């Protein structure tokens, strides 16, 4: 395949990042390589293998490794493989007679892509000092140093002492990948690189990743020819991965880079902290230099030990900074606690906060308003910055030393605020504490101009060549502030947590009550969900089971309406303030009064105070509703002479016995067909309450017998006789004449569309000529202002608001009104509502229409 060259205009420094440096397929010429399979067959071999054995590289491919490696050497290699941990490390064997020729080799072993890689170097002269003892002595000297700077200086001095390289530098990486030389030991006369900065592109990302995996790297002779590993590709078309190789050849770009520096040999020792490449010991020599594998292993161990020491001292330094910050933090918290501050008054402690986190300016942004102290952007600019910060995610500290690089409007106020640290202290709306730092114009000294590159065509297309000059090159950097440190961001997180805790503490009781209320609400919602489902199922069953007993649509509606109203009355008793003290007498009286109003005096109630449990209400309400309606239609209450006795008492088993006895009415006969009403009477108490029920049809009247088990009622409690329901609102339509709304124009304010349509149709059916509907206070006001209205029907709860604000508008225009409410307890109406009626949901049409008609009659008539 022919690689098309890129236009020069598209070439940038990132071309270097595309170089596959671990797949070059070549090794340096001071050693030899064998790649063998797990069953010890030779897969690859370096082309120079013929220099040490009497075989060509090609002739070894596919052969057993024992054809070139001695059995003793293979035994040693197998033993070292046993202690390897996968493909993440390597092992070394010093002075091994690898080929059985008497010639000793230093051997490195690792596993790559399922292949065992064996690398061998002729054994060099062994160091006079034991490497382990040497490293111990070096570390002892390093540990005696004071502070980080002394540690860095002694480390490079010790490493130069055991390697003999002309220059040893300690190179530390910055967050963006660039780095600087922070310590150096060099022979005299070769100049100094101390303090110079190097761009991130000098060590591209794939090279930094290799430095973590393979922590010692030697380039013995920059100008030497490299040796190919054959074959280049395996049978699957893959090149060999030499990431862990000690002999891996060098990228041509890096060779050119070193050549431009005048370096003939190079070595690196990685400093890895928390799995990240913190820095490098970079060693340069101006003549070729090879170090024995044993010395390189000692340098690797030294690098690992120094990494641990640096990590420990950095952690100690961090702890000291955090402890100092904690003292300031605790003082700040104690002051705001003593002052009982709120979020709006945190700005009073701006100086304390700027002492904890040094900054040139401080702002608190709360509910869209900014309070500024010191050098800050304007409130409008801060509002724009807050919108940008909202995208950073809630609960996270955000810090940058270059606002303009991530938020373009930040370029307008670089002189006042180039860097920002933001502490979010709420979720919605998002509020912030903002610390600002002004621009610091910096002069950075680079090792040569990092932007000076030349273009050339390489194997991966057009690329940039390394710069040829490494003389100090100064660059002035604008738009940045002093960077925010790790300790400062930790202090910011501590402040965020403490401020929230303090603010919560000031509202502790309120928050506790809110929490309890929220828990109760969750329980109530769960219970409500359960009950609503049950009620819907019950309503569905009532509809289905009531259908056979109805002969017309109107009779069907009346039957369903009556049964639903019975359930509603029972629900009112359950949710009333005195629900725990409702007696059996109250339940029976409620059903009698609601349905037969004027005939209630013909029903005699007799028995002790039996206080029924709430779970019993609905069942008893339905049973007595059916008994009352049947009596009013067909039994003792259907004429003018009959009567009913309801008696109850406790039997010997502490159960409650109830008798319903009708007399003086028309002759009674047992029904030929059992309707749903009869089913409710006969089966509800046994099924729902585990009690007993029996109904007898005597010629003189119906007699019903019920038994309530002791667990559904109790005797203790303060009895409260509930008065008979107000005939104006709770009496069935049979007890008062139907009202008429003929010729009226009405307004229905209801947020539920289905209920609104139902009320609208109900009003039309009773004679209204025009009905307007509104779902909110604003919509209702528009109707009131633009239309002629005679009367209004107001749902109390409109979702996110109530209809109470409309009272003043309606009173101003002398428009009467009626409230409807789903609240079971007595609703507290505004004083301006006067004596307006309130009808409970679900409402019976006659009751609602009657209330509206009464209200309309109170409207002043035009003279």
Give pLDDT tens digits for 819-849.
Answer: 988 765 556 788 888 888 888 776 767 778 8
Left if phi > 0, otherwise alpha if psi is -120 to 50, otherwise beta: which for 72? alpha
Q: What is the dihedral of CA 730, 731, 737, 738, to 10 degrees?
A: 40
How buried is residue 394: exposed, middle or buried, by Cβ count under 10 Å (0-12/13-18/19+)? Answer: exposed
Per-residue three-class SS string for 25-47: CEECCCCEEEEECCCCEEEEEEH
Mean pLDDT of 430-450: 71
Q: Comparing C-alpha atoms, which of 272, 251, 163 is closest to residue 207? A: 251
User: What are the two backbone dihedrals, phi and then psi, of residue 378, each rounded to the nearest 5 degrees?
Assistant: -70, 160
Q: What is the pLDDT of residues 36-85, one digit of tens each?
A: 999 999 999 999 999 999 899 999 999 999 999 999 999 999 998 888 86
Q: Which residue has the tokens 């009869």?
A: 678
Query: How far is Cα 152 from Cα 306, in angstroms, rounded to an integer?
Result: 9
How buried is residue 236: exposed, middle or buried, by Cβ count under 10 Å (0-12/13-18/19+)? Answer: exposed
User: Over the chain, what is the mean pLDDT?
Assistant: 80
Whether the pLDDT of residue 340 is over 70: the answer is no
Question: Greater confidence, 808 or 581?
Answer: 808
Range of lowest pLDDT (140-149, 214-223, 581-590): 581-590
Range of lowest pLDDT (506-520, 586-600, 702-716): 506-520
Can you give the pLDDT at residue 823? 66
Give bridge partners of residue 365 from the DSSP assignment.
Answer: 370, 432
Helix (H, G, I), strand (E, B) or coil at 607: coil
Query: How far is Cα 326 from Cα 567, in angstroms, rounded to an integer?
Result: 64
Can you give the pLDDT at residue 428? 61
For residue 19, give the DSSP letter: -
Parallel/antiparallel/unpaired status of strands 227-230 and 369-374: unpaired
Per-residue burial over 660-695, b if 16 or more Cβ lie within 10 Å, else e, is bbbbbbeebeeeeeebbbbebbbebbeebbebebeb
Question: Greater confidence, 547 or 36?
Answer: 36
Q: Comparing C-alpha atoms, which of 377, 324, 400, 315 is closest to residue 355? A: 324
Q: Which residue has the tokens 């004083």?
A: 831
Parallel/antiparallel/unpaired status of strands 603-606 and 643-650: parallel
In this prediction, residue 500 has a pLDDT band, given cuts at 50, 70 and 90, of: confident
Q: What is the pLDDT of residues 346-373, one digit of tens each?
A: 777 788 888 888 999 999 898 888 889 9
Question: Greater confidence, 780 or 85?
Answer: 780
Range of lowest pLDDT (63-72, 760-769, 854-863): 854-863
381, 413 in Cβ contact below 8 A? Answer: yes
492, 432 in Cβ contact below 8 A? Answer: no
Mean pLDDT of 154-161: 92
Q: Which residue has the tokens 């209200």?
A: 855
Q: Quickly list H helices, 451-583.
A: 486-506, 508-546, 553-575
Question: Greater confidence, 541 or 613?
Answer: 613
Per-residue burial over 364-382, b if 16 or more Cβ lie within 10 Å, else e, is bbbeeebbbbbbbbeeebb
Can you give the pLDDT at residue 329? 80
Whether the pLDDT of residue 538 is over 90: the answer is no
Whether the pLDDT of residue 482 is over 80: the answer is yes
Can you give the pLDDT at residue 804? 92
224, 29 in Cβ contact below 8 A? Answer: yes
Give bridge partners of residue 649 from the DSSP assignment.
Answer: 657
Question: Greater confidence, 16 or 857?
Answer: 857
Q: What is the dihedral of CA 571, 572, 574, 580, to 10 degrees?
A: -160
Query: How far is Cα 537 from Cα 531, in angstroms, rounded to an integer?
Result: 10
Query: How far is Cα 620 from Cα 612, in angstroms, rounded to an integer?
Result: 10
Mean pLDDT of 501-519: 66
Query: How far is Cα 291 from Cα 219, in angstroms, rounded to an integer?
Result: 10
Q: Give the pTM.
A: 0.51
Query: How far is Cα 697 from Cα 622, in angstroms, rounded to an integer?
Result: 20
Mean pLDDT of 806-813: 93
Whether the pLDDT of residue 579 is over 50: the answer is no
Q: Comparing C-alpha atoms, which of 195, 198, 188 is closest to residue 166? A: 188
551, 684 in Cβ contact below 8 A? Answer: no
Q: Please, what's the largest Cα pairwise distance for the chain? A: 133
Question: Greater confidence, 467 or 162?
Answer: 162
Range of lowest pLDDT (473-487, 664-678, 744-758): 473-487
Mean pLDDT of 844-859: 83
Q: Quickly list H helices, 666-771.
A: 676-689, 727-730, 753-765
Composition of the chain by helix, strand, coil, percent to 5: 45, 25, 35
Whether the pLDDT of residue 606 is over 70: the answer is yes
**First-to-last CA distance in the chain?**
103
Whether the pLDDT of residue 307 is over 70: the answer is yes
User: What are the two backbone dihedrals, phi and then psi, of residue 66, each rounded to the nearest 5 degrees?
Assistant: -70, -10
Listed ranges 517-521, 538-542, 812-816; the one with the highest mean pLDDT: 812-816
Q: Comparing C-alpha atoms, which of 11, 471, 485 is closest to residue 201? A: 11
Angle of helix 676-689 versus helix 508-546 axis, rounded to 10: 140
Query: How far is Cα 688 from Cα 614, in angstroms, rounded to an integer?
Result: 13
**CA 205 from centre of chain:** 32
Query: How far is Cα 415 from Cα 381, in angstroms, rounded to an integer?
Result: 14
Can you give the pLDDT at residue 685? 87
Q: Is the peptide bond before 368 cis (omega within 30 degrees of 0)?
A: no
- Counting DSSP H helices and E strands in the chain, the numbers are 21, 34
Range of lowest pLDDT (241-245, 321-325, 487-491, 854-858): 321-325
Query: How far is Cα 600 from Cα 637, in angstroms, rounded to an integer?
Result: 9
300, 320 in Cβ contact below 8 A? Answer: no
Can you give the pLDDT at residue 504? 66
Q: Which residue has the tokens 């009905």?
A: 771
Can you give the pLDDT at residue 568? 66
Give bridge partners of residue 107 from the DSSP assignment.
Answer: 93, 120
Can you give the pLDDT at residue 720? 38
CA atoms within 13 Å, Cβ hemisphere of 224: 21
830, 788 in Cβ contact below 8 A? Answer: no
806, 774 in Cβ contact below 8 A? Answer: no
User: What are the two backbone dihedrals, phi and then psi, of residue 688, each rounded to the nearest 5 degrees?
Assistant: -85, -30
Query: How far is Cα 476 from Cα 727, in angstroms, rounded to an integer?
Result: 91
Listed ranges 74-88, 106-120, 204-218; the one with the highest mean pLDDT: 106-120
Share of the chain above pLDDT 70, in %: 78
Whether the pLDDT of residue 509 is over 70: the answer is no
Q: What are 291's two structure tokens?
A: 């170090």
Mean pLDDT of 587-596: 74
Can you give the pLDDT at residue 729? 31
């Amino acid at each position: 395949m022919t690689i098309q060259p890129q236009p020069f205009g598209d070439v940038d420094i990132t071309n270097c990042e595309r170089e596959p440096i671990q797949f070059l397929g070549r090794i340096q010429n001071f050693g030899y390589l064998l790649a063998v399979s797990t069953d010890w067959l030779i897969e690859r071999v370096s082309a120079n293998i013929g220099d040490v054995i009497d075989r060509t590289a090609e002739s070894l491919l596919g052969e057993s490794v024992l054809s070139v490696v001695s059995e003793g050497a293979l035994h040693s290699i197998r033993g070292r493989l046993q202690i390897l941990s996968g493909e993440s490390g390597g092992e070394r064997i010093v002075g091994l007679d690898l080929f059985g020729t008497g010639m000793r080799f230093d051997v490195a072993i690792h596993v790559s892509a399922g292949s065992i890689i064996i690398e061998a170097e002729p054994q060099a002269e062994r160091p006079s000092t034991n490497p382990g003892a040497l490293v111990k002595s070096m570390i002892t000297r390093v540990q005696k140093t004071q502070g980080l700077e002394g540690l860095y200086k002694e480390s490079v001095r010790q490493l130069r002492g055991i390697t003999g390289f002309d220059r040893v530098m300690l190179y530390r990486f910055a967050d963006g990948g660039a780095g600087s030389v922070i310590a150096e030991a060099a022979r005299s006369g070769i100049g100094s690189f101390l303090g110079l900065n190097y761009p991130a592109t000098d060590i591209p990302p794939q090279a930094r990743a290799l430095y973590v995996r393979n922590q010692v790297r030697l380039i013995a002779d920059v100008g030497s020819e490299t040796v190919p590993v054959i074959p280049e590709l395996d049978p699957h078309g893959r090149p060999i991965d030499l990431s862990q190789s000690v002999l891996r050849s060098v990228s041509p770009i890096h060779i050119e880079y070193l050549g431009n520096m005048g370096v003939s040999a190079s070595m690196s020792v990685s400093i890895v902290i928390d799995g990240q490449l913190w820095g490098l010991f970079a060693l340069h020599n101006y003549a070729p230099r090879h170090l024995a594998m044993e010395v390189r292993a000692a340098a690797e161990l030294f690098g690992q030990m120094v990494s641990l020491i640096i990590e420990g001292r950095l952690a100690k330094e961090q702890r000291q900074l955090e402890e100092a910050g904690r003292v300031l933090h605790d003082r700040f918290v104690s002051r705001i606690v003593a002052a009982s501050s709120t979020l709006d008054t945190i700005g009073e402690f701006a100086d304390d906060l700027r002492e904890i986190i040094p900054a040139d300016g401080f702002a608190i942004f709360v509910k869209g308003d900014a309070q500024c102290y010191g050098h800050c952007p304007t409130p409008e600019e801060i509002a724009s910055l807050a919108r940008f910060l909202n995208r950073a995610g809630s609960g996270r500290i955000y810090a940058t030393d270059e606002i303009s690089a991530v938020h373009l409007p930040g370029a307008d106020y670089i002189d006042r605020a180039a860097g920002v640290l933001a502490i979010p202290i709420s979720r919605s709306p998002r509020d912030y504490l903002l610390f600002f730092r002004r621009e610091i114009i910096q002069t950075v000294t680079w090792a040569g101009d990092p932007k000076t590159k030349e273009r050339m065509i390489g194997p991966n297309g057009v690329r940039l060549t390394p710069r040829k000059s490494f003389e100090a090159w100064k660059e002035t950097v604008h738009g940045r502030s002093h960077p925010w440190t790790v300790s400062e961001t930790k202090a910011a997180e501590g402040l965020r947590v403490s401020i929230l805790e303090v603010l919560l503490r000031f509202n502790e009781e309120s928050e506790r009550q809110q929490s309890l209320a929220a828990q109760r609400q969750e329980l109530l919602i769960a219970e409500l969900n359960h009950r609503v489902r049950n009620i819907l199922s019950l309503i569905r069953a009532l509809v289905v089971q009531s259908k056979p007993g109805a002969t017309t649509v109107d009779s069907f509606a009346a039957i369903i309406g009556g049964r639903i109203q019975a359930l509603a009355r029972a629900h009112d008793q359950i949710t009333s303030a005195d629900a725990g003290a409702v007696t059996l007498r109250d339940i029976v009286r409620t059903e009698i009064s609601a349905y037969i109003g004027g005939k209630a005096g013909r029903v005699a109630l007799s028995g002790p105070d039996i206080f029924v449990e709430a779970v019993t209400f609905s069942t008893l309400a339905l049973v007595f509703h059916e008994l009352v309606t049947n009596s009013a239609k067909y039994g003792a209450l259907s004429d003018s002479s009959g009567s009913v006795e309801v008696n109850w008492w406790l039997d010997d088993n502490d159960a409650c016995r109830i008798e319903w006895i009708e007399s003086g009415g028309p002759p009674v006969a047992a029904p030929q067909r059992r309707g749903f009403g009869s089913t409710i009477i006969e089966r509800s108490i046994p099924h729902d309450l585990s009690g007993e029920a029996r109904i007898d049809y005597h010629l003189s009247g119906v007699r019903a017998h019920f038994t309530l088990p002791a667990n559904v009622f109790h005797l203790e409690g303060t009895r409260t006789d509930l008065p008979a329901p107000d005939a104006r609102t709770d009496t069935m339509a049979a007890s008062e004449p139907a009202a008429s709304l003929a010729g009226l124009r009405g307004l229905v304010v209801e947020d539920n569309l289905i209920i609104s349509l139902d009320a609208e149709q109900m009003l039309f059916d009773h004679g209204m000529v025009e009905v307007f509907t509104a779902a909110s206070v604003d919509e209702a006001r528009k109707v009131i202002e633009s239309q002629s209205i005679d009367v209004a029907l107001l749902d109390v709860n409109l979702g996110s608001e109530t209809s109470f604000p409309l009272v003043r508008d309606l009173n101003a225009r002398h428009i009467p009104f009626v409230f409807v409410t789903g609240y079971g307890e007595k609703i507290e109406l505004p004083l301006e509502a006067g004596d307006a009626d309130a009808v409970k949901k679900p409402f019976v049409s006659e009751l609602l229409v009657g209330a509206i008609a009464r209200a309309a009659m109170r409207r002043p008539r035009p003279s």
